[in-house]
Amino acid sequence: MSIPRARLRHTALIGLAAIGLSGALAACSADTEAPASDGPVEITFQSWVPNIDQAVDAFNDAHDDVNVTLETITAGPDGGYAKMLAAVQAGNAADVAQVGYSDLPDFVVADGLEDISSYVGDSEDLFTPWQWESGVFNEAVYAVPQASGPLVQFYRSDIFAEAGVAYPTTWEEYYEAAKAIRATGPDRYITAFAFNQAAWMIGLAQQGGATWFGTSGDAWDVAIDSPETVKVAEFWQKLIDEDLVKVEADFSSEWNADLQSGNVATWIVGSWGDAILRGTAPDTAGLWSAGLVPQWEAGGTESATWAGGSASVVLKGSDHPEEAAEFALWLNSDPGSVSILTSIGAGWPAISDVSVIPSLQDDPAVFEFYGGQNIWEVAAESDAAVGDAWKWPPLASTLFADLTDNVKAGIEGGTPLTDSFSKTQTDIVDAMTEKGISVN
């Protein structure tokens, strides 16, 4: 496989020298021949995405030589990843698994993935570059990208009209809109400050220009409490202090009710949030629209994601790595399969040519909910604006847990959000050092 020079720099930076475990990939190889089989090869696929069985069934219907069995697991950070890695160590892992971009470095360090370069390496051009590169380490391909979560702001256009404000294109306009919407009712807010969502807060920091992790030589640079992060934290602190946002956990019963009643008028989330919004507040059909996230500078085009996205990997020890890689590639590149994944809310497709996806061209159930708007045009623009400067570190699950805990504690204790990010900086440096990962 030929890797462009830019990618060589990228993969070297997040390679094993920087992680501090240079032998982790030594045993990885995609050249193992699977034993012959009289019938179709049986492989197991682990995923947490609701209704992804529709895509699995489509694969099985189209293939006689491979049969895939779906095993539904708990969402990765909530226990699924630990189960996957434990099974790898026990020698009885599934063949294919869904893993978030943010957690791929941990799986590589743990020697939990097969190198599938020889099976899918020549398919690089099918995918958006930044998503493909999420699964490339030290020139080897360890994942087929599935979908991302480019940030989109879903908003109640009727409430904005009632408040007499236009859709905000900058954060300063957002602040003014927050004041106007707050004045329309005693229980109404422009949005909820989701203190329980590290992925949301990380996305806001990334969209604000922050780059929390990088490498210099063989060590990691950690800059969680950077000036860019402080800027974002201070903005949201101002909204909290002025009672312009409702501090509540998203996906909670109270949050669901607020979406349904209009007490929360916007939601910044990955594009996959569309399916959740339609399922949570069906009676509000026709009242919602979608827009790009406000910019820090007028005319800017900065975007970000909700925790990157997710990919299909072949777990280490699979008896059928070639067939497993074949399924992973088909699942995430076949137009019919990708159309299914998009319609069930799996996220924004990783393939570069979205014009071949039927559900993105005409989806009445989605478009009608948003007053006839083709919201996928917004998602496409957001995804295209995601830069490649953001790098996920090892110990991503620790990062998510620490940030959530620190922000929650700060909210409850009345301390500034900036303190919560500073504490997270200290916690992550300590955690990485304790694991033997070199940190500058």
pLDDT of residue 78: 73
Residue 23: is its pLDDT beyond 80? no
In a domain, 380, yes or no: no
**Is residue 378 included in any domain, yes or no?**
no
pLDDT in tens, 132-186: 999 998 899 999 999 999 999 999 999 999 999 999 999 999 999 999 999 999 9
User: 231 and 267: one domain?
Assistant: yes
Assign residue 277 a region (left: φ > 0; alpha: ψ between -120 and 50; beta: otherwise). Answer: alpha
DSSP notation for 182-200: HTT-TT-BS-EE-TT-HHH
The strand pairing partners of 295, in sequence order, are: 170
The answer to whether 69 touches 53, Cβ cutoff 8 Å, is no
Domain that residue 31 falls in: 5-148+307-372
Residue 440 belongs to some domain of the structure = no
> What pLDDT is recorded for position 360?
87
- Check which CATH number belongs to the domain holding 311 and give it: 3.40.190.10
% of the chain residues with pLDDT over 70: 92
User: 């957690």: which residue's tokens?
Assistant: 103
Looking at the fold, whether 40 and 134 belong to one and the same domain comes out as yes
Residues 403-430: tens digit of each pLDDT: 999 999 999 999 999 999 999 999 999 9
Mean pLDDT of the chain: 90
| pTM for this prediction | 0.85
Q: Is the pLDDT of residue 206 over 50?
A: yes
- Which carries the bigger pLDDT value, residue 13 or residue 117? 117
Q: Tell me: the pLDDT tens digits for 350-402?
A: 999 999 998 888 888 899 999 999 999 999 999 989 988 888 998 998 999 99
- What is the domain count for the chain? 2
Q: Are residues 100 and 222 in the same domain?
A: no
Residue with tokens 């009643």: 261
Same domain, 394 and 314: no
Look up residue 54 and give its amino acid. Answer: Q
Whether residue 324 sits in one domain with residue 294: no
Domain boundary among 325, 342, 372: 372
The residue behind tokens 């969402």 is 75
For residue 367, the tally of other CB atoms under 10 A from its CB is 14
- Please name the helix (run of DSSP H) or strand (run of DSSP E) that holds residue 322, with its range, or none: helix 321-333
Residue 175 sits in the same domain as residue 258: yes
What is the pLDDT, as a whole number, of residue 362?
83
Query: Which residue, 347, 372, 397, sits at the end of a domain?
Result: 372
Q: How confident is the model at residue 37 (pLDDT cuts 50, 70, 90)?
A: low
Residue 46: the pLDDT is 97
Give the three-class secondary structure for 250.
coil
Q: What is the mean pLDDT of residues 44-48?
A: 96
Q: Are residues 144 and 162 in the same domain?
A: no
132 and 173 co-located in one domain: no
